[in-house]
Amino acid sequence: MKTIDELLADGVAGKRVFVRADLNVPLSGTTITDDGRIRAVLPTVKALADAGARVVVASHLGRPKGAPDPAFSLAPAAARLGELLGADVAFATDTVGESAEATVTGLADGRVAVLENLRFNAGETSKDDAERAAFADRLAGLADVYVGDGFGAVHRKHASVFDLPARLPHYAGHLIATEVGVLKKLTEDVKRPYVVALGGAKVSDKLAVIDQLLGKADRILIGGGMAYTFLKAKGYEIGSSLLQEDQLPAVVEYLERAEKTGVELVLPVDALVASAFPDLKAKAPADATSVAADAIPADQMGLDIGPESRKLYASKIADAATVFWNGPMGVFEHPDFAEGTKAVAQALLDSEAFTVVGGGDSAAAVRILGFDENAFGHISTGGGASLEYLEGKTLPGLAALED
């Protein structure tokens, strides 16, 4: 895989460089609530602009239905990118139409433009190879060189991620090169003890990665909504807690495999429960109580790991040499159920391990809960992409960058 360093060494002045970024930031109306993904692509965009390239940045945002939708416009992201660069950023109001062509044609050396949301064109996400190829052909007409730097999208077989690199000289940007380097530290010659903390709502989202990690990790800590399916598999009463009943056979099998292979699969020993899911907007105090993990009342639901589980998980992380964390331990958006997630994040910081936060809600939690991002070894921009890499899957966007 060639990197942007090789591209810069060859010279890019005057060239139109298409940067497939991941500007899929959370919005409240037109206000960006977390600009982490924009900041992540900044080194690549700035390096190209400083070298005199005409930089064409493209991304998706949300899941529009293959047609323009103002609610998913990239205009706020383009404005924020300009603020971070300290320079005007041109914005095309379409992807491959008149505005895009005029905007790119009008770019001077060292300047940056952002195209409108790629998913406003049905060809971006089409499962029909010909339709995707036709859209990729039109995108290719806007550029001389392709740089892939949208790690959060590399697990998608989309036109701008998979088809476009085949049509242009292609390179990995700084972000993708960093992400791949980090993930190799989690899959090749891993420093041990290797501890993985997995949370989030659905156990089905994590089954494939647990399957792989049962042969690689030394300890796997389970939290979040997915923990209650594990507790149910052990025969515990879980009240009205989140349960994926159809996943119970797989979870039972994983518990048995962990015991046979000597992998420590750690479940909560207590939980914070309440009678109803909290109001995340009002953030009014909840009727939270702590109970043993095997004694959740029938009319209560688990919403966070309890105080004893926090201590247990911190102790399991303390001596680690490598830690990968993906998924919050509870409903961290509400202050009454954020302590479990805080405890895991703090345990990563207190350890001397190489620590990786696996994107998505985990990365958002780090920022929302006030932790210093730079104190972690690495915070990924792609939760789904990170998990699929650890599952051993071939990621289309990375395969497309290989020569």
- For residue 276, the one-letter residue type is A
Helices (H) and strands (E) in the chain, counts: 14, 17
The residue to which tokens 């790119």 are assigned:
104
Overall residue count recorded for the chain in this entry: 403
| 393 flagged as catalytic | no
The residue to which tokens 């041990």 are assigned:
192
Catalytic residue among 225, 382, 384, 397: 384
| 225 flagged as catalytic | no
Catalytic residue among 358, 360, 382, 383: 360
CA distance 137 to 132: 9
The token pair that represents 393 in the structure block? 């899957």
| 232 flagged as catalytic | no
- Give the list of residues 6+ apart from residue 2 with CB closer than 8 angstroms, or none: 170, 171, 172, 401, 403
| 397 flagged as catalytic | no
- Taken in order 285, 289, 293, 296, the sign of the CA dihedral is negative
Among residues 9, 97, 12, 11, the alpha carbon closest in space to that of 54 is found at: 12
Among residues 246, 292, 242, the alpha carbon closest in space to that of 267 is found at: 292
- Give the list of residues 6+ apart from residue 244 with CB closer than 8 angstroms, or none: 202, 203, 204, 226, 229
**DSSP secondary structure letter of residue 12:** -
Q: Are 61 and 25 in contact (CB under 8 A)?
A: yes
Catalytic residue among 16, 37, 156, 157: 37
Catalytic residue among 2, 80, 167, 202: 202
CA distance 338 to 333: 7
Active site residues: 37, 202, 360, 384
